[in-house]
Chain A
Amino acid sequence: MERKRNPLSEFDWGLVSIYAVLLLFGCFSIYAASYREIMATSFLEVFNLDTSFGKQMMWVGVCIVMVVVCLLLDSKIYTTLAYVSYGVAIVLLIAVLLFGKDVNGNKSWFGVGSFGIQPAEFAKFATALALSKFMSGMNIDIRNNTRHLFTALAIIGIPACLVVLQGDLGSTLVFCSFIFVLFREGASPLFLIIPFVTMVISIITLKYGVVTMLVVDALSLLGLLYFFRKKKFNPNLLFVIIIHVGIAIYALGVNTVYMNVFKDYQRARIDYVLGKYKKDKKKPAIQEVVPVVDKNAKKERKFDDWNVRQSMIAIGSGGILGKGFLKGTQTRFSFVPEQTTDFIFCTIGEEEGFWGTSLILILYILLLYRLINTADKQRSTFSRIYGYSVAGILFIHFMINIGMTIGIVPVIGIPLPFISYGGSSLLAFTLLLIIMVKLDADRLHVLR
Chain B
Amino acid sequence: MVLKIIFGVVAVIYFMRLFYLQVWSDQFDQQAKDNAIDIRRIEPARGLIYDRNGKLIVYNAPVYDIMVNPRNVKEMDTLKFCEILSITKADFIKNLTKARNYSRYKSSVFLGQMSIEDFSKFQEYMSQFPGFYANVRTMRQYPYNCGPNLFGYIGEVDKNQIEKSNGYYEQGDYAGKFALELQYDNELRGQMGISYLLVDNKGREQGSYEDGSQDQKPIAGQSLISTIDIDLQVYGEKLMKNKRGSIVAIEPSTGEVLCLVSSPSFDPNLLTGRKRGENYMKLLNDPQKPLINRPLTAMYPPGSTFKPFTALAAMTDGVLDENYSWHCTGGYSIPGKFLKCSHGHPTPINVMEGLKHSCNPYFWTMFRRTIDDDTFGSVEKGYQVWWQHMQDMGLGHKTGIDMPGEKGGGVPSTTYYNKIYGKGQWHSTTIISLAIGQGEILATPLQLANSYASIANHGYYITPHLIKKIGDDSISIKSRYPKISTKINQICYASICEGLRRVVESGTARSCKIPSIELCGKTGTAQNSHGENHSIFAGYAPYNKPKISIAVIIENGGYGAAYAAPIVSLMVEKYINDTIETSRLKMEKKMFDANLLNTGGYGKKTTDTSAVD
Contact = CB atoms under 8 A, between A and B. Distances in A.
A319 B29 contact: yes
A406 B21 contact: yes
A313 B15 contact: no
B18 interface: yes
B25 A316 contact: yes
A283 to B, nearest CB: 11
A315 interface: yes
A354 B18 contact: yes
Given A316-B21, A329-B35, A406-B17, A284 B104 contact: yes
Contacts of A395: 6-7, 10
B18 A406 contact: yes
Contacts of A36: 200
Main secondary structure of the interface of A (DSSP, over half): helix
Contacts of B11: 361, 364-365
B75 A361 contact: no
Interface in A295-325: 295, 299, 310, 312-320
Interface stretch (B89-97, B158-166, B177-185, B377-385): B89-97
A332 interface: yes
Interface string B73-98: 11110100000000001001100100
Given A289-B71, A329-B35, A354 B25 contact: no
A389 to B, nearest CB: 12
Nearest to A365: B11
B218 interface: no
A315 B7 CA distance: 22
Nearest to A298: B75
A372 interface: yes
Interface string A276-297: 0000000010111101110100
A25 to B, nearest CB: 15
A315 B28 contact: yes
A287 B75 contact: no
Contacts of A332: 200, 206
Contacts of B6: 180, 395
A289 B14 contact: no
A184 interface: yes
Nearest to B11: A365
Interface string B482-499: 000000000000000000
B32 interface: yes
A369 interface: yes
B36 interface: yes
Contacts of A406: 14, 17-18, 21
Contacts of B480: none
Interface in A338-390: 349-350, 353-354, 357-358, 361, 364-365, 368-369, 372, 388
Contacts of A96: none
Contacts of A316: 21-22, 25, 27-29, 31-32
Contacts of B10: 395, 398-399, 403
A289 B72 contact: yes
B74 A192 contact: no
Given A184-B3, A293-B89, A364-B11, A315 B22 contact: yes
Interface string B56-78: 00000000000000111111101
B36 A333 contact: yes
Given A293-B92, A333-B36, A369-B4, A318 B22 contact: yes
B201 interface: yes
Contact of A319 (B23, B72, B105): B23
Contacts of B21: 312, 315-316, 349, 406
Nearest to B22: A354
B22 A391 contact: no
Contacts of B32: 313-314, 316-317, 329-330, 335, 350
Interface of A: 36, 180, 183-184, 192, 284, 286-289, 291-293, 295, 299, 310, 312-320, 329-330, 332-335, 349-350, 353-354, 357-358, 361, 364-365, 368-369, 372, 388, 391-392, 395, 398-399, 402-403, 406-408
Given A318-B22, A330-B36, A388-B3, 20 more contacts: A180-B6, A184-B3, A192-B2, A286-B105, A289-B72, A289-B73, A292-B75, A312-B28, A313-B35, A316-B21, A334-B201, A349-B18, A354-B18, A354-B23, A361-B14, A361-B15, A361-B18, A369-B7, A395-B7, A398-B10
